[in-house]
Amino acid sequence: MPSFDIVSKIEFPEIDNAIDGVTREIAQRYDFKGSHCSVERNELELTIKADDDLKLKQMHELIQGHLARRKIENGVLDYKEVEKAAGQSVRQKVLLREGIEKDVAKQIVKDLKGSGIKVQVAIQGDELRVSGKKRDDLQEAIAFVKGLPIEQPLQFNNFRD
């Protein structure tokens, strides 16, 4: 019985390379001279430190640009509340989304079942296994899921005949 997996994985070496690129660009740019701006990664969390809100917005643009160059979609970033630090400086936590959350997985299953495509969907931890009798049904399911309004980037792998 043909099947494939729907997953949401992050390539951490690419994230680290993007952060290194952002750090180099901050060191070279004239508008960041003398500022105390930085980006650090701790497991599934980025910490952005900036002098003020304007620099924070510029850092967001830099991070998104460097991630796009590394072919990582912006949907993996989950921005949290901006925190005030000493003086005018600000700090912001950004969570990296890896794995499909339960509510998103349930929504995908519900939408696939409601679409009329003849496939079975099983939630396996933080990924989904889709199986069907025909390869064409699976390809139709992939196209359907790509069309869903889901912020988080999804990958389709482990396609077996």
pLDDT tens digits, one per residue of 100-158: 888 999 999 999 998 888 999 999 888 899 999 989 989 999 999 999 998 888 899 98
Asked if residue 43 has pLDDT above 90, the reply is no
Tell me if 91 sits within 8 A of 49, measured CB to CB: yes
- pLDDT of 90 reads 93
pTM attached to this predicted model = 0.80
Three-state SS annotation for 96-136: ECCCCCHHHHHHHHHHHHHHCCCEEEEEECCEEEEEECCHH
Which of these CATH numbers, 3.90.730.10, 3.30.70.860, 3.40.91.50, 2.40.50.140, describes 3-8+99-160?
A: 3.30.70.860
What's the Cα-to-Cα distance from 16 to each of 22, 66, 110, 119, rounded to whole Å?
10, 10, 36, 38
Common-topology check for domains 3-8+99-160 and 12-96: yes
At 85 the pLDDT is: 82
- Domain ranges in the chain are 3-8+99-160, 12-96
Q: How many CB atoms lie within 10 A of CB 42?
A: 8
Domain 12-96, CATH among 3.40.50.2300, 3.30.70.990, 3.40.50.300, 3.40.50.9100: 3.30.70.990
Would you state the pLDDT for residue 75?
Answer: 87
